[in-house]
Amino acid sequence: SWLLRYHHIQTSKSFALPVFAFVFTKITMKTPLIEIQLYNNADNNWLRFNDLTEALNAIKQCQMTCFRKYDFKQKFVAGSETPVIDLYAENNQNNRRYQMIVVNSVTKYRNKPFAAFIVPKSRNLDWLYSTPAGRQQIIASAKYTTVAFIYLQSDEEYRDLEQVKSEMTSAVLDFKPVNLSDSLQIPFLSSSEGIGQVVVRERSASFIIEDCLYGSDNEWKRRLRFDSNPNLIQSEINLVSNKTTNDLIPDYSTLENDYHGVIVAGLKTHFLATENAQPTDNWLLIGLGGGVLTMKLIRSFPKAHLTGIDIDSEMVRIAKTWFGLDDTLTTCIVDDG
C-alpha cells in the first residue's frame, strides 16, 4: 500500500472547478493512507482517509461547494440562500468548528450590500435563526442585501466575538458578491448575547446533552439532541438553581414547551369535562426520550399510575441522570413498545 497525497491546486479568481493533483510517494504503508489538502497555503490542513471512496466523496463535496458558491455569487436571486456550509478548524479537520448559511434578502439595499451575523451558541435552533423565514426577518430588520449567518458549535470553545471575526473573515469574503471590492470591510453583526453560552454535560456518538443560557436574565435550559437529527431538540426543560448545592436542576413547575402544554391542557380539559379531574387510571407512555413529558404528566396527574417504556436503556439513564425522572413515581421498562 502507498501513501497518496491530493493537493488542491491554486486557481485564478475566475471560476474553475477545483483540481486535485495526486502524488505517489515512496513511502510504503501497512494499510492505505490517503491525505487530501482542501485549502491552499495550509500545510497542516489535511483530511486523512483509509478508504478511497470516502476520499473521493470529500473531493466531490469540495467541488460541489465551489459550484454552489459560484452560482450564488454570480446572480442575485431574491430570497435565496446557500445550503449549510461546514467549516473546520485548520489544525483539526475532524471537528466542525462553524457552520454558515449565506442568505439574499428579498429586497436590495444599495448602501448596505453585505454583512455577517454571528448567531449565539444557545440560539442555533431558535426559529429566528434555523428557518428561512426567520433569517429573512433578521435581514429585513438589519436592512442588508446579503447576510452570512455564522453558527457556533456547542462543543467548541470561542474566546469572544473578535476571535470569531478573525477566524471567519476569509470564509465570509469567499461569498461576497462579485461586484464588491476585495478590500471590503465586512460588518459583523451580533445580538446582545454575544457568542452565547452552552455547557456540554454529556456527549456520545449518538447524542448530546447541553445546558444553554438564554437572554440576559440568566435563564438556563437543558436539552437533548441526537446526532442523527441535530437540528431537532428531542427534550428540553427549564433549569433552576438548587438552593443547597447551587447546581442547576430541572424545573417542572412550568410548561414552557408548547407541545407538552397542549398535551397536558388537552388531558385536563378532557377529565374536567368528565368530572374526573384527578384520574387514577393506568397510563402507558411509549418512548421516554428525556422523560420531560413523563414528569409533567406525573406532576399534573399525581393519582394516575404511569408506566414509561423505551427500547433504549440509555434513554432511561439519561432521563434519570439529567432530566430528573423520578422512578419512584413511575415505572420504567426497557423494551420495544
Q: At residue 58, what are phi and psi to the nearest 5 degrees?
A: -65, -40
CB 171 within 8 A of CB 101: no
Give CA torsion, residues 205, 210, 215, 217, to 10 deg: 180
205-214: long-range contacts (C-beta < 8 A, 24 or more apart)? Answer: 207/318, 208/154, 208/155, 209/318, 209/322, 210/154, 211/239, 211/248, 212/121, 212/122, 212/154, 213/122, 214/122, 214/123
Shared-domain flag, residues 40 and 118: no
Whether residues 87 and 188 fall in one domain? yes
Residue 245 grid cell: 448545592
Mean pLDDT of the 63-80 span: 77
Question: Helix or strand or coil: residue 62?
Answer: helix
Whether 218 and 244 share a structural domain: yes
What's the whole-number mean pLDDT along residues 197-218?
86
Q: How confident is the model at residue 174 (pLDDT cuts 50, 70, 90)?
A: confident
Query: Does residue 131 sit in the same domain as residue 229?
Result: no
Do 31 and 44 reside in the same domain of the chain?
A: yes
Average pLDDT of the chain to the nearest whole number: 82
Pair (226, 276) in one structural domain? no
pLDDT grade for 53, boundaries at 50, 70 and 90: confident
User: Would the pLDDT of 183 be above 60?
Assistant: yes
| Residue finishing a domain among 195, 213, 234 | 195
User: Do 181 and 94 have their domain in common?
Assistant: yes
> Quick one: average pLDDT of 145-173?
92
Mean pLDDT in residue range 189-202: 89
Grid cell for residue 203: 456527549
Cβ neighbours for 110, distance < 8 A, ≥ 6 positions apart: none
304 and 272 assigned to the same domain: yes
Which residue, of 23, 44, 67, is where some domain finishes?
A: 67
Per-residue confidence band for 59, with pLDDT thresholds at 50, 70 and 90: confident
Find, among 121, 128, 146, the residue nearest to 69 by Cα: 146
Residues 27 and 80 in one domain: no
pLDDT at 165 over 90: yes
DSSP bridge pairs for 207? 226
Sign of CA dihedral 276, 280, 281, 287: positive
- The pLDDT value recorded for residue 147 is 95
CATH of the domain at 298: 3.40.50.150
Tell me: pLDDT of 86 over 90. Answer: no
Domain boundary among 250, 271, 290: 250
pLDDT at 26: 61
pLDDT band at 274 (very low <50, low <70, confident <90, very high): confident
- Report residue 102's pLDDT band, with 50, 70 and 90 as the boundaries: very high
Of 2-16, 123-137, 197-211, 292-306, minimum mean pLDDT range = 2-16
Does pLDDT of 51 surpass 80? no
| In the predicted structure, residue 52 carries a pLDDT above the cut 60 | yes
List the single range of 70-74, 174-178, 232-236 with lowest mean pLDDT. 70-74
**CATH number of residue 139's parent domain:** 3.40.50
Sign of the alpha-carbon torsion through 37, 43, 44, 50: positive
The beta strands (E) that lie in 215-323 are given as: 219-226, 233-241, 248-250, 282-286, 305-310
Answer yes or no: is pLDDT of 254 > 80. Answer: no
Question: Per-residue DSSP letters for 86-140?
Answer: EEEETTEEEEEEEEEEEEE-SS--TT--EEEEEE-GGGTTSHHHHSHHHHHHHHH
Mean pLDDT of the region 48-73: 73
Which of 41-55, 149-163, 295-309 has the weakest average pLDDT?
A: 41-55
- Please compute Rg for the chain using Cα positions: 25
pLDDT by residue (tens digit) across 218-246? Answer: 789 999 999 888 878 889 999 998 888 88
Residue 158 binned pLDDT confidence (cut-offs 50, 70, 90): very high
For the chain, helix, strand, coil in percent to 5 are 25, 35, 40
Q: Are residues 283 and 294 in the same domain?
A: yes
- Note whether 224 and 149 are same-domain residues: no
Domain that holds residue 245: 197-250
Q: How many domains does the chain have?
A: 4
- For residues 40 and 145, state if they share a domain: no
C-alpha cell at 258: 408548547
The candidate with the shortest Cα–Cα distance to 218, out of 248, 190, 255, 191, is 248
